[in-house]
Amino acid sequence: MILVIGGRSKIGSVLIGELAGRGERVRALARPTETAGPLVAGVEAVIGDLGDSGSLSDAMAGVSKVFLLCGPSPDEVRFNRNAIEAAAGADVELLVRSSILGADTSSPAAFVSDHGVSDQYLRDAGVPFAIVRPNMFMQNIPENTIPSLDDSGTFYTNTGDARISMVDTRDVAAVAAVLLTEPGHTGDELDVTGPEALSYDDVAGKLAVSLERDVTHVAVPDDAVREALSSYGMGEWMVDGLVSLFADYRRSGIGGYAAQVTDAVGRLTGREPRTLDALLAETQPAAAR
Ligand SMILES: NC(=O)c1ccc[n+]([C@@H]2O[C@H](COP(=O)([O-])OP(=O)(O)OC[C@H]3O[C@@H](n4cnc5c(N)ncnc54)[C@H](OP(=O)(O)O)[C@@H]3O)[C@@H](O)[C@H]2O)c1
């Protein structure tokens, strides 16, 4: 039995299907506030919360492996620690944690440093583990960038000319499924990227083709993005997290850490990682005709 924590996330929801497709018995953690019932047909739901250690120990009863993903939260480090401690107590065979590319306790970007702290906690916990470190999700382009285009087709970021090897979350889920079900991956720490490093100017070019309209990226300073995100009602912690992550990409530059392209998807799944062009063809089918 494999317990999936974060089963409603973009990675977790696809992972559940991948695991079920491999014939694995899957249990998914659902928060108490949610309606009970399976997240995916045939998958057992168990009520629990990453903030409630007892519920995590209960959820891990009879479980041999755990996938752990927690969304961005000021409590993320504590939530991860709770789950790792519960896994240690349950003597699980393997815990696969979803982290972030470049995870580093000393990063100035909170998302990256928090993941660095959680990864280190896991390495020290004595639980057999593997870690996937995905780069920025490609899905952010159709879900966030396209809706942010103004009437002239312009969008703004504080990423400068940084190139980012953004990855399709379905490819991250496929890698996690291999780590969880195939032998020989204990201790693996995999940087999971897409097939190409794209600047947001490159993204604008691809959007222009896909949407059949002018699309322009304008690089702006951190404060301009901070102000814009705050004006949408986004909380301060999340605004700071996003602005500092994008600033980190900018510092990383044209050939920095965010631009590295790895072979993790191809090596583990046997097929090449999806491209942004392919994702846009799926999400903007009319324009892609
Ligand atoms: N967005 C990116 O480009 C990117 C890139 C690399 C890495 N990451 C990392 O990927 C992870 C996922 O990000 P995301 O934006 O995809 O997250 P998301 O869609 O918001 O999903 C987060 C998941 O965590 C669960 N969760 C949150 N708090 C919980 C709690 N207290 N107890 C139990 N479950 C809880 C959520 O459950 P509910 O469904 O109940 O809310 C949900 O399933 C984060 O760690 C992020 O740092 C993101």
User: pLDDT tens digits for 110-156?
Assistant: 999 999 999 999 999 999 999 999 999 999 999 999 999 999 999 99
Quick: pLDDT tens for 253-281: 899 999 999 999 999 999 999 999 999 99
CA distance 36 to 13: 16
- Which among 65, 64, 71, 35 is positioned nearest to 50, based on CA atoms? 71
Return the ligand 1 atom nearest residue 139 CA: 3
Which two tokens mark 67? 């996938």
Return the ligand 1 atom nearest residue 111 CA: 47
Q: Are residues 192 and 134 in contact, defined by beta-carbon separation less than 8 angstroms?
A: yes
Cα torsion angle, 126, 131, 136, 139, sign: negative
Pocket of ligand 1 (CB under 6 A): 6-10, 12, 29, 31, 34, 49-51, 69-73, 79, 98, 100, 111, 134, 136-137, 140
- Whole-number Cα distances in Å, 100 to 13, 35, 193, 225: 18, 30, 10, 22
Mean pLDDT, to the nearest integer, of 179-185? Answer: 97
- Residue 144 belongs to some domain of the structure: no
Cα torsion angle, 41, 46, 48, 53, sign: negative
Domain of 79: which CATH number? Answer: 3.40.50.720
Pairing between strand 154-157 and 189-192?
A: unpaired
Torsion of the alpha carbons at 181, 183, 184 and 188, rounded to the nearest 10:
10
For residue 228, list its beta bridge partners.
Answer: none
- Residue 152 belongs to some domain of the structure: no
- Residue 267 belongs to some domain of the structure: yes
Q: Are residues 131 and 191 in contact, defined by beta-carbon separation less than 8 angstroms?
A: no
Question: For a pLDDT cut of 70, what percent of the chain falls above it?
Answer: 95
- Residue 50 belongs to some domain of the structure: yes
Mean pLDDT, to the nearest integer, of 88-95? Answer: 98
- CB burial readout 145-157, b (16+ within 10 A) else e: bbeebeeeeebbb
- Per the prediction, the chain carries an average pLDDT of 94
Residue pointed to by tokens 């087709």: 153
- Residue 143 belongs to some domain of the structure: no
CA of residue 143 to ligand 1 center, whole Å: 15
Q: What is the pLDDT of residue 286?
A: 57
- pLDDT higher than 90, residue 22: yes
- Residue 78 belongs to some domain of the structure: yes
- pLDDT higher than 90, residue 40: no
Helices 236-252 and 110-124: crossing angle, nearest 10°? 90
Q: What is the pLDDT of residue 289?
A: 41
Q: Whose CA is nearest to atom 12 of ligand 1?
A: 71
Quick: pLDDT tens for 235-249: 999 999 999 999 999
- pLDDT higher than 90, residue 96: yes
Question: For a pLDDT cut of 90, what percent of the chain falls above it?
Answer: 90
Number of domains in the chain: 1
Q: What is the pLDDT of residue 288?
A: 44
**Which of 69, 100, 141, 200 best tests ligand 1's pocket when mutated (most atoms within 8 Å of CB)?**
69
Q: Are residues 217 and 149 in contact, defined by beta-carbon separation less than 8 angstroms?
A: no
Domain that holds residue 102: 2-135+168-193+261-273
- Residue 185 belongs to some domain of the structure: yes
- Residue 112 belongs to some domain of the structure: yes
- CB burial readout 252-283, b (16+ within 10 A) else e: beeebbbbbbbebbeebeeeebbbbeebbeee
**Which of 31, 53, 70, 104 best tests ligand 1's pocket when mutated (most atoms within 8 Å of CB)?**
70
Q: What is the pLDDT of residue 35?
A: 57
